[in-house]
Copies of this chain bind each other. A is one copy, B any other.
Amino acid sequence: MEARPGQPAVVLLSGGLDSATTLAIAVDQGFQAHALSVDYGQRHRAELAAAARLAVALGAASHRVVRVDLRAIGGSALTADLPVPVNRDAPSMAAEIPITYVPARNTVLLALALGLAETLAAFDLFIGVNAVDYSGYPDCRPEFIAAFERLANLATQAGVESRGVFRIHAPLLHWSKEAIIRAGLRLGVDYGMTVSCYQADETGRACGQCDACLLRRAGFAAAGVTDPTRYVI
């Protein structure tokens, strides 16, 4: 999708590797990038602290944290009292959907981003979803992104009045983790500031065992660059 230099955009920023790269891409494309983090009661709160530092480091125009208590809904190891699966032989490329899936998460995240976009008169939303490494999540697929883009243009005052056309940018959608890391490094992302681990400790130290850690490690290895992550193991 084309850049719209100087235009405001909303960038979903979890504090992980993918969303940090996405923010760097939005800024590189010339957008005035307003970062939005969602505190949905996740276990890995170190991500939110990382998000705040990344927003500054990567040149975001602003950073907001919206609280949504998904714990009242439950259904995922990330927000409920279920064990996070660890120590599997390979990252979860399997057909089944991992239990770390949060019900309707990307739908909720994009809905909140859309609300902020309306307030800021922005028409560009960025989300760091990836259909390659996380093929198990239904809301990381191109058809989901396309359906949300269509919804956004029907759901909003600005869309109805044709003051602009909402675009959902998912620049990482078809990239491998290796390609994401290479792109981010070219744009100056300090991946030592990002937190991917599903159960990072309060200082941001990663478990080294969960699916997110395994994917991240494999990505740095494939890219042939040093992994700056602080792992417990």
**Which residues of A pack against B, CB within 8 Å?**
64-70, 72-75, 97, 101-108, 110-112, 114-116, 118-119, 138-139, 141, 143-144, 147-148, 150-152, 154-157, 159-160
Contacts and interface: CB of A to CB of B under 8 A. Distances in A.
Contacts of A65: 72
10 cross-chain pairs, A with B, having the tightest CB-CB distances, nearest first: A104-B115, A75-B119, A103-B115, A103-B118, A107-B111, A104-B114, A138-B160, A108-B111, A147-B151, A111-B111
A161 to B, nearest CB: 8
Which of A64, A102, A151, A156 has the most chain B CB atoms inside 10 A of its CB? A151
A192 to B, nearest CB: 28
Given A68-B66, A114-B107, A119-B74, A157 B138 contact: yes
Contact of A73 (B74, B115, B151, B154): B115
13 contacts: A66-B72, A68-B69, A73-B115, A73-B119, A103-B115, A104-B115, A107-B115, A108-B111, A108-B112, A111-B111, A138-B159, A138-B160, A143-B154
A141 B154 CA distance: 9
A157 B114 contact: no
A118 B102 CA distance: 10
A198 B159 CA distance: 25
B115 A70 contact: yes
Nearest to A160: B138
Given A66-B73, A67-B69, A107-B115, 14 more contacts: A64-B72, A66-B69, A66-B72, A67-B68, A73-B112, A73-B119, A101-B157, A103-B114, A103-B118, A107-B114, A111-B111, A139-B155, A139-B156, A151-B151
